[in-house]
Structure 1
Amino acid sequence: MDLTATLSESSRPISKASENKLLDTLFQHHRLKRSWVWNQFFVLEEYTGTDPLYVGKLHSDMDKGDGSIKYILSGDGAGTMFTIDDTTGDIHAIQRLDREERSQYTLRAQALDRRTGRPMEPESEFIIKIQDINDNEPKFLDGPYAASVPEMSPVGIIRTALTNMDREARECYEVIIQAKDMSGLLGGLAGTTTVNITLSDVNDNPPRFLQKHYQMSILESAPVSSTVGRVLAKDLDEGISAEMKYSLVDGDGLDVFDIATDTKYQAGIITVRKPLSFETKRSYTLKVEGANTHVEMRFLNLGPFRDTTTVHISVEDVDEPPVFEASFYFVEVPEDVDIGTTIQIVSARDPDVTNNSIRYSIDRSSDPGRFFYVDITTGALMTARPLDREDVAWHNITVLAMEMNNPIQIESVAITVKILDVNDNAPKFDKFYEAHVCENAKAGQLIETLSAVDQDDPPEGQHFYYSLAPEAANNPNFTLRDNQDNTAWILTRRSGYRQRTQNTFYLPILIADNGQPMLSSTGTFTIQVCLCDNNGDEVSCSPMAHTLPISLSRGALLAILGCVFVLLVLVLFMLSMRRYRKQPYIINEEENVHENIVRYDDEGGGEEDTEAFDIAAMWNPREAQMLRIRQDIQPEIESLSRYVPQTCMMHDNIHKYVLAKLYEADFDFYTPPFDSLQTYMFEGDGSVAQSLSSLQSISTDSNQSYDYLTDWGPHFKKLAEMYGASEGSGALS
Structure 2
Amino acid sequence: MTKILYPVYLLLILSCVESCSIPGSLYVLSPQTIPAGYHLTKVEAVGCDPDTLHLTVEDPSFTVQSNGVVVALSPVSVATSGRTFSVRAQDGSGPASEMEVHLVCGTKQKTNEKGQAILKRTKRRWSPPPINILENDVGPFPKDVERIASNSEVVNDVYYTIEGPGANQYPLNIFSLDKETGVLKVHQPLDREEFPKFILTINALDKINNQPKGLPLDLTVSVDDVNDNKPEFTGPLIFAVFEQTTNLVVGKVEAMDKDDPDTDHVKIKYTLKDGFEYFAINPDTGVITTVSNKLDRETKDTHMVTIEIRDLKGAPDGLFNTATATITLVDINDNPPTFSQTSG
TM-score tier, shorter chain, comes to 0.3 to 0.5
* Structure with the higher fraction of residues in helix conformation: 1
Q: Which has the higher contact order (CA 8 A, sep 6+)?
A: 2
* Structure with the higher fraction of residues in strand conformation: 2
**Larger radius of gyration, structure 1 or 2?**
1
Please give the TM-score of this superposition, normalised by the length of structure 2: 0.44
